Amino acid sequence: MIDLVRRASLFCLVPLVSCVSFLEAADKTPAMLLLKDTLIAPGQPARVEARLSTTGLLAPTGLGGELLELLVEGKVVATGMTGGDGRAFLTYHPKAQGVIPIQVRVGRSARVLPTEGQANLVAWERRNSILAIEVAALMEVRRGEHPLSGIGSVLESERTPMPDAADELAKLTQFHYRVMYVATVPSTNADGMLATAEIRAWLTRHKFPPGYIVVLPPGASVWGAKIDELHGAGWKSLKTGIGRSKAFSEAFLQRRLEAVVISDSATGEVPRKAVVAKDWKEIRKKL
């Protein structure tokens, strides 16, 4: 601390407020703020889930007792306090429809450095047709990967999107479809909220249309259970899935829904009733 004070004294040629701010910031903890996307029908209140935690090599620890602020178009529209696990739920009644970008940031804090997180608040009419897109189906298969195995949601920055995927998906969503991006984490102890942030960054970097991101735990039956949950909540316009893995496709086919498999060669491992498309330019012809 003595060294810190000495270093701060070098800045005393600048206003005193700057010196005080330097010392205050040195005592604060860096943190990570992660969010989940929220799906509602127009007119419903949105309950946005956020989690504030420590950063570093060790497992993140939730930071309780901190004020979080929800911002839409740069304006604070809701606030909430984090619990002992670092989670907070912020309620907001959106007036707009569509995919609404939101931010959550740490409010004035005596112990945490300023930080923020992004997500989408999705307000769709229930009658809008929804396409569920497996994130793996947007990426090129790497050498040595089985083409039908799917890809985990831990994204490396060098992952390359499939040719035409972003453009073709933008055309599908321009007038008719809404898009739901789906992935599973590679293990039961993986961080689904962190995976959501990674997926959002990858989709944005490669100019995919905005949508609702869903990250699920591993397991062959998890996506089928999610379809049932969404249908039970009134989202019956979810009728089509575009994916690469067998489990994803079968979840739709078992419920008499449509499944399109991205594959450059039809093999016996493609579910029998699935529609096969060799690339994204074929997708619009198959729907």
Report the candidate in 200, 34, 180 with the shortest Cα–Cα distance to residue 103: 34
Q: Of 101, 123, 145, which one is at a domain's C-terminal end?
A: 123
β-strand pairing of 87-92 with 75-81: unpaired
> Does residue 280 share a domain with residue 184?
yes
Summarize pLDDT for 268-285 with one digit per residue, the tens.
Answer: 578 888 999 999 999 988
> How much is the pLDDT for 156?
53
Q: Of 76, 91, 123, which one is at a domain's C-terminal end?
A: 123
> Does residue 204 share a domain with residue 89?
no
> How much is the pLDDT for 284?
84
Q: Quick one: tokens of 238?
A: 């979810």
**pLDDT average, residue stretch 4-11:** 41
Q: Quick one: tokens of 89?
A: 């739920």
> Does residue 249 share a domain with residue 112?
no
Instruction: Tell me which residue range forms the domain holding 230.
Output: 130-286
Please measure the distance between the N-terminal and C-terminal CA atoms of the chain and give it in whole angstroms. 65
> How much is the pLDDT for 106?
96
The CATH number that applies at residue 105 is 2.60.40.10
Summarize pLDDT for 98-122 with one digit per residue, the tens.
Answer: 999 999 999 999 999 999 999 999 9
> Does residue 208 share a domain with residue 113?
no
Residue 1 lies in a domain: no
Give the percent of the chain with pLDDT over 90.
Answer: 66
Summarize pLDDT for 208-217 with one digit per residue, the tens.
Answer: 999 999 999 9
Residues in the chain: 287
> How much is the pLDDT for 8?
39
Residue 211 lies in a domain: yes
Please tell me the total count of domains within the chain. Answer: 2
> How much is the pLDDT for 187?
78
> For residue 78, how many C-alpha atoms fall within 13 Å in the half-sphere facing its CB?
20
> Does residue 146 share a domain with residue 255?
yes
> How much is the pLDDT for 157?
57
pLDDT at position 233 over 90: yes
Residue 95 lies in a domain: yes
More confident residue, 254 or 219: 254
> Does residue 149 share a domain with residue 279?
yes
Task: Tally Cβ neighbours within 10 Å of residue 152.
Answer: 16
More confident residue, 12 or 143: 143
> Does residue 185 share a domain with residue 62?
no
> Does residue 160 share a domain with residue 112?
no
> Does residue 195 share a domain with residue 231?
yes
Q: Of 61, 89, 123, which one is at a domain's C-terminal end?
A: 123
* φ, ψ dihedrals at 168, nearest 5°: -65, -40
**pLDDT average, residue stretch 70-79:** 96
CB of 191 closer than 8 Å to CB of 185: yes
pLDDT at position 21 over 70: no
